[in-house]
Amino acid sequence: MPAKTETNLAYAFAAESKASVRNAAFAQKAEIEGYSQIARLFRAVSEAESVHARRYLMLMRGRIGSTEENLETAFQNEIKANVEEYPNLIKDAAAEGHTGAQRAFSQARDVESFHAKLYKKAINDMVAERETEYYVCQVCGYISEDEAPDSCPICGAVREKFKQMT
């Protein structure tokens, strides 16, 4: 694939991914404010942006491999975020006195290490053909296996803040 096209696909993937998440957040806010029709529109656009992002990702050379390769890639990405990226983000937020961002970055860093462990375990579970239920904290992103905890070990959110993944 030509280098410029590869670069443009990566750019478009990132932009569409961001747009999808942003519109999902807009939908949540509209729902809270009682605008269910607008929330539906934001969710629809969010899903459309996800379709675009997945399409670009599929076109990008070498980005999606076998499930086992994808688990290894995901594991390595979590380790990199935990060790290389989040420490700098935390340091910068602390230097600027932005405690909210510092806390969010610190919690995300801590969650990334759990994600890495889940990916490693999933590789073994795949071989053993074991099934696991997952519950995601909607505050910090912590993932619990088999059942939601009474409170999140990262941010302290209550059990009701966990979403079961189907």
Mean pLDDT by 10 residues, the chain (166 residues): 91 96 96 94 92 92 84 92 95 97 95 90 82 92 94 96 93
What's the predicted TM-score (pTM) here? 0.74
Q: What pLDDT sits at residue 25? A: 97
Displacement of CA 107 from its chain's centroid (Å)? 13
Q: Which three-class secondary structure string do you get for the chain?
A: CCHHHHHHHHHHHHHHHHHHHHHHHHHHHHHHCCCHHHHHHHHHHHHHHHHHHHHHHHHCCCCCCCHHHHHHHHHHHHHHHHHHHHHHHHHHHHHCCCHHHHHHHHHHHHHHHHHHHHHHHHHHHHHHCCCCCEEEECCCCCEEECCCCCECCCCCCEHHHEEEEC
Q: Which fold has domain 3-59?
A: Ferritin (1.20.1260)
Per CATH, the architecture of 67-165 is what? Single Sheet (2.20)
Q: What pLDDT sits at residue 2? A: 85
* Size of the chain, expressed as the number of residues it contains: 166
* Residue matched to tokens 């030509």: 2
Numbered ranges of CATH 2.20.28.10 in the chain: 67-165
Numbered ranges of CATH 1.20.1260.10 in the chain: 3-59
